[in-house]
Amino acid sequence: MMIKRIKDLLRRLPVIWKLMLGAALLIFLVFATYNFAQYLVLKNWMMNQEQDTLHTMMSQVEVYVKDNTSSAADFELPETKSFMRNILGKNQMIRIIDQDGTELLTDSNRFNSNWIAPVQVSSAQMQDVRLDADDHILVYRTPFTSGNVHGTIEIASNLETFDHFNKTLLLVMVIGGMLAVGISVLSGWAIAKQFLRPVKALASTIQNVKEKGLQERVANIENGDEFSELARLFNELMDQLEISFRQQKQFVDDASHELRTPITILEGHLNLLNRWGKEDPVVLEESLDASLQEVRRLKRLVQELLTLTRTESQTMSEHVNYIHIEPYLTETVKRMETLHPEFTFNINVEKSNYAVKLNPLHLEQIMLILIENAVKYSDKDKQVEITSHVKNGQLSISVQDHGIGVPSEELQYVFDRFYRVDKARNREIGGTGLGLSIARNIVLHYNGEINMTSVEDEGTRVTLTFPAAVKA
């Protein structure tokens, strides 16, 4: 239960705290592991040094005893005692006992001989003895034989300095570890704060978007890292969303405006019929004709809106093959000649092995839109030229008319939904202003391009360009 509470608490912590505590814990574990290993290595090395010192002293004592003593009385000689005193170090003791346990010689330097009881041994022994918390003694015993004397040499060393150094070293490492953890906490806090600053900026911007609208953007983060890229992508996404919402609003406004006119006309004629048109055949026929015309217009408008929505959502079929465009262009032109016998359609299609990846129905739909526009906006010169050629792996199709043209300042808007040049005149000409938008969306869907050039009172040229490939 306690572990679950701790997990829940950690899960609810702010990210900055999680990063700070994670960094502190990681540094603490690394530092503690390194210091503990270092402490053990130093402790073992110092203990080996102490043992080596006792081995060296024991070798000197053994040599002296073997060369200079042959009886128990020789251990009482001043020369023997002087030698033993000279090799003694601080906090050390030398004791020699015979085979009965009688002390032949005892000398010490700041060492209480009562701490260690004399012990007979038959082989060399190193013993680590801890009397209490303050007294830690290392004893080295080895048997000896000199003349008619047999016994044991004992050399003991109080490891007080050794223990003091170990405690000091451990204390320094603990304090160092605590300082390291403290520094790591502060550093982790600073780094986490710096690290999360772009995230906070992004969160603040999202909140501003929620409260103030889509025009809010993340301030430029010039770090050159992933957060800078995230901020850039967020701003680009917001730009696209803002454009999309603006276009959506414009679309709704335009669609409402376009639908309002035929509905108003229908309502007017129906009211006219309801009042006195039932008994007047002339008014009845006129109102019915006008109503049917507006219904057909509404039907065409709704169909084009559906087509435009489908092309913008890219729900068109992706399973298309490469086609040669010549037969489809020729067939489309023949259909237009039947519909508009008063027009002359000149078609010039370059023969080649190049083909484009395009749905034939979409190609026909695009060409019908462009040729219908050329017919609709031609005034006196009733000629339309359709040409096609291949250049640098790109297949181009052009539709040229000699009609009223488009003012240069309005060319940038002609592919917008519901946009029509000279609104009053176009009301007479007819149309919904959606054809070029539909054509553009279809062309872009196939990675193509569509452009328009025009001169007022001279004509307009619309050019399509598609990637082409050689196909047999």
Q: Map residue 53 onto helix, strand or coil.
A: helix
Residue 345 host element (H or E): strand 344-349
CB 395 within 8 A of CB 356: yes
**Cα maximum dimension of the chain:** 162
CB 217 within 8 A of CB 206: no
Residues 241, 235: Cα–Cα separation, whole Å:
10
Each residue's pLDDT tens digit in the chain (472 positions)?
A: 667 776 676 666 676 677 777 777 887 888 888 888 888 898 899 899 999 999 999 999 999 998 888 888 888 889 999 999 999 988 899 999 998 888 999 999 988 888 889 999 999 999 988 877 667 899 999 999 988 889 999 999 998 888 888 888 888 888 887 887 788 778 777 777 777 777 777 777 777 777 777 777 777 666 666 667 777 777 788 787 777 777 677 667 666 666 676 777 777 777 877 776 667 777 777 777 777 777 776 776 677 666 666 665 555 555 678 889 899 899 888 888 888 889 999 999 888 888 998 888 888 888 988 998 899 888 788 899 999 999 888 999 999 999 888 888 888 888 877 676 654 344 455 566 777 888 888 898 888 999 999 988 889 999 999 998 887 6
Q: How far is CA 369 from CA 399, 419, 462, in A?
A: 10, 15, 11
DSSP state letter for 70:
S
Q: What is the pLDDT of residue 383?
A: 92
CB 88 within 8 A of CB 156: no
Q: What is the pLDDT of residue 92?
A: 92
The sign of the dihedral angle between the CA atoms of 24, 29, 30, 35 is positive
**Given the structure tokens 């435009």, which residue do they identify?**
308
End-to-end CA distance of the chain: 75
Q: How far is CA 249 from CA 298, 349, 418, 432, 437, in A?
A: 21, 41, 13, 18, 16
CA atoms within 13 A on the CB side of 268: 9
Q: What is the pLDDT of residue 153?
A: 94
| SS3 of 96-163 | EEECCCCEEEEEEECCCHHHCCCCCCCCCEEEEEECCCCCEEEEEEEEEEECCEEEEEEEEEECHHHH
Would you mind telling me the total number of residues written for the chain in this entry?
472
CB 137 within 8 A of CB 157: yes
Q: What is the pLDDT of residue 425?
A: 45
The strand pair at 322-323 and 136-146 is best described as: unpaired
Residue 85 token pair = 């005193």
Residue 211 token pair = 């409260």
Q: Map residue 314 onto helix, strand or coil.
A: coil
The strand pair at 383-391 and 344-349 is best described as: parallel
The strand pair at 103-109 and 92-98 is best described as: antiparallel
Q: What is the pLDDT of residue 423?
A: 41
- Alpha helix ranges (H) inside 69-87: 78-87
CB 72 within 8 A of CB 98: yes
Residues 77, 82: Cα–Cα separation, whole Å:
9
Residues 56, 405: Cα–Cα separation, whole Å:
114
Domains and CATH numbers, the chain: 16-165 (3.30.450.20), 227-312 (1.10.287.130), 322-470 (3.30.565.10)
